[in-house]
Structure 1
Amino acid sequence: MRVIFAGTPEFAQVALAQLQAAGHTIVLALTQPDRPAGRGMKLQASPVKHYALIHGIPVAQPRSLRLDGKYPEDAAAAQALLQAAQADVMVVVAYGLILPQWVLDVPRHGCLNIHASLLPRWRGAAPIHRAIEAGDTQTGVAIMQMDAGLDTGDMLLVQSLPIASTDTTGSLHDKLADLGGKMVVQALAQLDTLVPVPQPTEGITYAHKIEKREAAIDWTQSADSIVRRIHAFNPFPGAATLLAGESLKVWAASVSDAPPPAGAVYGSIVALATDHIAVAAMNSIVNIAQVQRPGGKRLAVADFLRGCDVQPGMVFESAHDVPEAH
């Protein structure tokens, strides 16, 4: 098939590679404009753009696709490209721009979207983060025929995937990206026979975009909730806390079976072990296993403790408005 691909991050690039490997002709790749990133804030191309350039796929980076929006010249140029591409279908994966109706109408078979959740649960921008944060035990991928709504289109394929207690957004992202790529290849192969199924009207939830301010660990919460947030915010934005006035990112943790000592202050260190720091939370203990100091690299707790004077009784505090640990 002649495919227009619209996507930006690594999650999308995985699907693009699988579509090309399956023999489809990628006639155009739409992706977000280059953005400043890294310590030097130099302009960086998206993973989709990197892949497309290496494989000789034409790339377009409109700032908007709205013909009546802020950048009508970008939208008009994109419209000309899309119409000239004579595509059979458009595959959209974490693109980052709203698609007006005119875009949905261009390809012969419309636009298919890979969404990393079991719709209608976790419509929106951050379904992987929110599923882990909420303590969901399963998630999955939906291949959806796009309409003008926010992740509201009829579903062509759905496949579930268990969420392990040790999964982070990073690990689950990789599993779902691979699954999504395989499923969209399957959907294109069966496009003439698949029957679109409307999404259920019950169980709708929204996965709102992750904000950096959410990363501050609140030690008055339950240990389960804290550990879920640590996993959900790995690798972005990283769960943050303060110890002796210094910002720390916490990258790995687990819930202890032991209750906190009577009278223990929330956030206080109740024990030190070779592989973890035991911290009191609302109803249990959080065992911190991996941390990162500002400007440093991720460290196992054993390595961190060798370089810091950390003692039982010290208290982790909320890290609102603290510098990032890069």
Structure 2
Amino acid sequence: MPPAPLRLVFAGTPDFAVPCLRACLASGAEVVAAYTQPDRPAGRGRRLAPSPVKQAALAAGIAVEQPETLRDEAARARLAAYAPDLIVVVAYGLILPKSVLAIPRLGCWNVHASLLPRWRGAAPIQRAILAGDAETGVDLMQMEAGLDTGPVLLEKRTAIAADDTGGTLHDRLAALGADVLAEGLSAVLRGETLAAAPQPAEGVTYAHKLDKAEAKLDWSDSAAALARKVRAFDPWPVAEAEIHGERVRLWSAEAVVETTSAAPGTLVATHRDAIDVATGDGLLRIRELQRDGGRRVAVRDWLNARRDVSR
């Protein structure tokens, strides 16, 4: 008699989690339900919108659950009724209490977008760019009660390129996460047990949730740090700064190693396709920006609209 299929519950919410859901569906496991955050207001009309995971799950014909919390007995009983062998969690957004972690016989796995124990927490992708890390990756982790403290089952690494943004690195890590999850599921479906490597005590850092206030650039910072902020905050919350008396959003910029006696924040040079602004150390060369209420444009278009800026 053939063995019963692996019963799997998936828990995730944003775009980042969708490739992992698809990896579960393609693995041969039986995905019996998808848990995701309740519909939230979105867009200019603030209408309730389903999460990307909910949309993908419904398209695949999977039962969708959207509890406000997993801490009440009724929600836990409903989850237990699915009789999962494994729960896979990817950017779900709700805490799984110990009573939930204990439900599946294989426990709960988490796909996390960093090389643990570095950047535990909510915003590991952007924090890695902000810190100037040369490398990051995704870890498949066995979940426990602590925040991203569980042992690592599998890991995949990727270099952080000089032009990587929060958006490009997000997409690459989402794909890597699906790869590492597929590898783990394949091993379990073959009857293998993955080796769990405890995280080292050294090197723990926390990736605190992004705050929109962080997007406001301080020109007294170094050009290198400001350029990293521009990249990390693309596509959200987008770096903001005042240039020549105007508040703008910055989409593309690079650090230039050049000394200047100008005060930080001073527009010191214009080029055909860029402007240079003095910082606390070096110049920030800006190539794309967005005026208040406008669209993202090349600097040459901004210069054409700002005839008061000397060439």
What is the TM-score with the length of structure 1 in the denominator? 0.89
Indicate the residue corresponding to 1:253 in structure 2.
Answer: 253
Q: Kindly state the Cα deviation for residue 45 of structure 1 after the two structures are TM-superposed.
A: 1.1
Indicate the residue corresponding to 1:56 in structure 2.
Answer: 61
Of residues 140-149 and 285-294 in structure 1, the stretch that sits farther from structure 2 once superposed is 285-294
Q: Distance in 2 between matches of 1:310 and 1:84?
A: 68
Q: Distance in 2 between matches of 1:31 and 1:219?
A: 40
Indicate the residue corresponding to 1:89 in structure 2.
Answer: 86
Aligned residue pairs, count: 303
Aligned amino acid, residue 216 of structure 1: K
Q: Secondary structure at the match of 2:173?
A: helix
Q: Kindly state the Cα deviation for residue 228 of structure 1 after the two structures are TM-superposed.
A: 0.6
Indicate the residue corresponding to 2:77 in structure 1.
Answer: 80
Q: Secondary structure at the match of 2:285?
A: strand
1:103-155 CA distances to partner (integer Å, 9 max, x unpaired)? Answer: 11111211000000000000000000100000000001110000000000011
Indicate the residue corresponding to 2:292 in structure 1.
Answer: 294
Aligned pairs for 1:199-238 within 5 A: 199-238=199-238
Indicate the residue corresponding to 2:52 in structure 1.
Answer: 47
Instruction: Quickly say closer, same or farther: Cα 1:307–1:21, change in 2 above 3 A.
Output: farther
Q: Secondary structure at the match of 1:250?
A: strand
Unaligned runs of 5+ in 2: 1-5
User: Does the aligned pair in 2 maintain the 1:7–1:94 contact within 8 Å?
Assistant: yes
Q: Within the alignment, does 1:271 sit opposite 2:269 as a pair?
A: yes
Using the aligned pairs only, state the percent identity: 51
User: Does the aligned pair in 2 maintain the 1:223–1:286 contact within 8 Å?
Assistant: yes
User: CA-atom RMSD, angstroms?
Assistant: 1.5
User: Does the aligned pair in 1 maintain the 2:27–2:185 contact within 8 Å?
Assistant: no
1:227-266 CA distances to partner (integer Å, 9 max, x unpaired)? Answer: 0111111111011012355421101101123x143x2111
Indicate the residue corresponding to 2:3 in structure 1.
Answer: none
Aligned amino acid, residue 29 of structure 2: H
What is the TM-score with the length of structure 2 in the denominator? 0.94
Indicate the residue corresponding to 1:125 in structure 2.
Answer: 122
Instruction: Quickly say closer, same or farther: Cα 1:270–1:151, change in 2 above 3 A.
Output: same
Indicate the residue corresponding to 1:136 in structure 2.
Answer: 133
Q: Distance in 2 between matches of 1:113 and 1:243?
A: 43
Aligned amino acid, residue 307 of structure 2: D
